Structure 1
Amino acid sequence: MTVPQRVLDVMHTSGIYFCDDPEMGAAQQEQMKMLHELNATMPGDPRRKELLHEFFAEFGEGAYVELPVHANWGCSTHWGAHVYANFNLTLVDDGEIFIGERTMIGPNVTLVTTGHPIRPDLRERVAQYSEPIHIGRNVWIGANVTVLPGVTIGDNAVIGACSLVNHDIPANTIAFGTPCRVVREINDHDREYYWRDHRIPADI
């Protein structure tokens, strides 16, 4: 089953919507069946590659995800070429998620496009909203990071482990913390040292 365009339009448009739509529920159930099949594949099973391309909106050339992966929908997540994601990636992808090429994602990362209104009566009616997440090219997201709705992370940025990213992070910066804050720009020191005082060998 292909997710109906009407359902995608509702989820991908800014504003409050209600997730008790029967057509939406039926479509999501089919996506969950496919996700279950994907996570049950054995290493080397050619069906795994087919399912990755079928389940996600886009799955770029050379992209790789360690299983298990968890997703609300899958069909809202766009993977660039040669992206690597470690195990237990969680995608709350009612809204769209765009992951740029060569990006690396550590274990237990959560990308959340969706929230719920503060007003209690709206939450009782299963109201929610979704805002897209954009992750640039060659970004490194450390273990246990959570990225919240509407965030953009610029090219080459590094997000430190256990950070809560609730606002945009500029390109070519190192950021970490709860909430995540830019600590410094990537600089000449990083061209010479790969970690603390550990020098990068001259022959690589």
Structure 2
Amino acid sequence: MSDFQRLDLFTMPAGFRRRGGLTVQLWWLTQASLFRGSPQIAYGFRRFLLRCFGAKIGKNVVIRPSATITYPWNLTIGDYAWVGDDVVLYNLGEITIGDHAVVSQRSYLCAGDHDAAQVDFPIRARAIRVGKQAWVATDVFVGPGVSIGDGAIVGARSSVFKDVPGGTVNHGNPCKVVRQRTVSAP
């Protein structure tokens, strides 16, 4: 039988993290202490911390203190967006969350993977985009390289491995379009 993967051959590509090891460790310490230890209502403070580490954060963004952001310099969040409790933004690659978009509690956005077709199992950064006015509901997994269209809804506990068209309601594992999204005036 041939080898499928040989982790002794794995090497981290130069510059993959886009920051030095000291900056990465400083962020992880900051996140574990100041970010997580901040009061629930300290949204401005958490926005400030993320911006200090290179994140592009819009106005009035709500990010809960229990959210985990791997590399803030790979994060862009538009105005009035929400990131819920225990959300993981595993942003080895860029993660962009549009204006007025919601990523609900316990969702996991995974912007990186490994090339399993190569024996040295190289790591890859693969960007994720959550469009404007989209809603990623509770406990959703969004896979590497996925784009969720503007105004789309991804239902609770869905697993998203392919792009989701804008203006649609979707759910399931794997996630599928259920219908068009409709709204009524307030």
Q: TM-score range by the shorter chain?
A: 0.7 to 0.9
Task: Give the Cα separation in 2 of the matches to 1:48 and 1:77.
Answer: 13
Match of residue 12 from structure 2: 18
The 3 A distance-change label for structure 1 pair 49 and 95 is: closer
Task: Give the Cα separation in 2 of the matches to 1:100 and 1:67.
Answer: 20
Contact 1:34 1:55 in 2 (8 A): no
**Is 1:97 paired with 2:80?**
no
**Is 1:74 paired with 2:72?**
yes
TM-superposed deviation, 1:25: 3.1
Name the TM-score, length of structure 1 as normaliser. 0.76
Contact 2:40 2:65 in 1 (8 A): no
- Corresponding residue to 2:86 among 85, 88, 91: 88
Match of residue 29 from structure 2: 33
TM-superposed deviation, 1:116: 1.1
RMSD: 2.5
Identity in percent: 25
Which structure has the greater CA radius of gyration?
1
Name the TM-score, length of structure 2 as normaliser. 0.83
Contact 2:40 2:64 in 1 (8 A): no
- Corresponding residue to 1:117 among 85, 96, 115: 115
Q: 5+ unaligned residues in a row in structure 1: which ranges?
A: 1-15, 192-201
Q: Deviations over 1:80-111 (max 9, x none)?
A: 00001110010110100010000011110101
Match of residue 142 from structure 1: 137
Q: 5+ unaligned residues in a row in structure 2: which ranges?
A: 1-9
Task: Give the Cα separation in 1 of the matches to 2:27 and 2:142.
Answer: 23
The 3 A distance-change label for structure 1 pair 43 and 168 is: closer
Paired residue total: 173
The 3 A distance-change label for structure 1 pair 17 and 151 is: farther
TM-superposed deviation, 1:49: 4.1
Give the structure with the larger helix fraction.
Answer: 1
Task: Give the Cα separation in 2 of the matches to 1:56 and 1:64.
Answer: 17
